[in-house]
Structure 1
Amino acid sequence: MAAASTASPPANRDVISLWLTVRLHPDAPLPSSPFSPSAPPSSSYPFFPARAVADLAECLDTPNFIPHITLLGGGFQHLSVEQITSLIEKAVGGARDEDADSAVPRRPKKVWKPFFVRVADVESGDRPFQCIYARIRKPGEPAPSTRPSGSACGVSATPEASLASQESAKHAPEQPGIRDSPEDLFELHSTLREVLYDAFDLPYRGDNASYMPHVSLVYAETDQLSLERRATLAKLLNATAEEQETPEEAANRTLPGSKDADADLAPADTFLERFERARERFGKTIRGTFVSVSSIEVVQTSVGSCADAGRWRILASVPLCRDAFENV
């Protein structure tokens, strides 16, 4: 199980991160850049709509980037790309352990196989790289509902749609053949943290106090997208394709902090109408979708502005064992 190296070592001003790259579907190849061909406009449900990042970037005039879950950040200043890749291969079972023939009894090493994780909800934050994001379900957290859930920031289900959804929910099993395994994700994070940081007596400094896996949807500075506006957009993105507005809500809805909110009569082509068209292109639904985890990417990122995200590069990819999906 050799890692595929695709680029030279990063420049000094860049840092290394480990990603779980979001693919168009479980068997799709890795995207080479944010500008790789995306799926045609349609719903990818039940899988995460990978084209959502590009569609939202075009709508909001924000940076485009490869959608991903950050597995480990921290910079990795103490290791080369080759060392990182080798240690990952050993940790996930893809390389021979030199101590495997030791006479000392050892706990069997887990061989990692592809698994799925699932979006719990869409949230917003005050950081450029956590502006609007799809948060991944944690172990023990209830499975997300993909059905209409009343009102969400002016987006609500009509009585008829609510009744139909409730009735269909009684009889339709939830995505037979697919279940998420957040326990595997958190265990993989802990395993690689031990191998790549703890083993070198180095503290790991992630972006959050505790691991909070997510797929970022929008990168932006606060002067480009205010906290109030990003919170409103996150609530809209948290709605599924089955959640609908009443005609009165659609006619009267305005976006906090937008010029529409201060205008006596909003123009026909309002920002929110453009935003809804962007949602329609990727199928609208994000909450409850699945992300397949089949490889670990070593990525060159930067510590500068989020505007640099378009030039981030995948340097190497270590696949998990492809014999079978462990939880399918």
Structure 2
Amino acid sequence: MTIKIKFGPDNQIPPVIQTPLPPRTEKIHSSINDMVGIGRLRKTNPSSLDKEKDRDKEKDKDKEKVAEILAELESFIGLVIVKRLIRDLQAFVEIQRRRSQEKLIAEPLVLHMIFKGNPGTGKTTVARLVGRLFKEMGVLQKGHIIECERADLVGEYIGHTAQKTRDQLKKALGGVLFIDEAYSLARGGEKDFGKEAIDALVKAMEDNKDNLVLILAGYSQEMDWFLQTNPGLRSRFPIHIDFPDYTIEELLAIGKMMFKSRQYELTLAAEDTLRFHLQTLLSSHRYAGNARLVRNLVEKTIRQQAVRLFQKPSSSREELIQILPIDINMDNL
């Protein structure tokens, strides 16, 4: 702002100081909705109470989803020890979260796992469930599962393996990387590229420990040998879960459940026949105590029933549903 001083012709008269008026500004009209003050909030911003209610709703939804996943786990036939260990993990994760909220020292959540057991004992199914459970509990961002084996990780020349392994790890970030028959990575000796894959996995476990769960799976004896080949591996996998073979009663229950899900029913005689064949399998087949063989038997039985009914010009609803002893055949299984 410029101030002008004007002197008159007579030096006895004091000077006149002229101060210009400030520039006129147009009055700005604000809508009532934009005014902020005591007793008035912006309509576009929810109150803190509303935000708290929303957070409570989200927590309730997460708890419901966790309960649904655990109910699904309980619906699995057998796997008693596995179910207990998964619930123990849930309790551990939740209590460490509560301790953190109260500013107490919390144990680090190192949740990498070793799954040991024969094929068809539920290892992959449980791994998928673990990913979903940890997502709803806030441990993992996505909770998806990437399933791979040696061929997906090991390359054919120097440097190729590390890149292939990193690609699989990148896909798995925020979820679970499940490696079946993981012991095959160490079978080639020191010069094999599998060792390079193991080194890349170990590094990724450290770099992404808060956003990745690595699960290695395979036969019990082979996995024990695998962990001995690299002293640093066992300490990085604090959770070991053994998946036992199914008993005859559990296999029979699995078979009946599979038939029911496909809208088939065993007659009493057919159920006795199925039990007999399963017992024969258990005594003669190395990996008979698993659900995969039962599934194969169920599917073969359904095909046999179809061949039997196809010989007739028509079939009643009851005939289409019933499984007879003659339909259950173990040949070429």
Q: TM-score, normalised by structure 2?
A: 0.22
More strand by share: 1
Return the index of the structure with the highest Cα Rg: 2
More helix by share: 2
Q: TM-score, normalised by structure 1?
A: 0.22
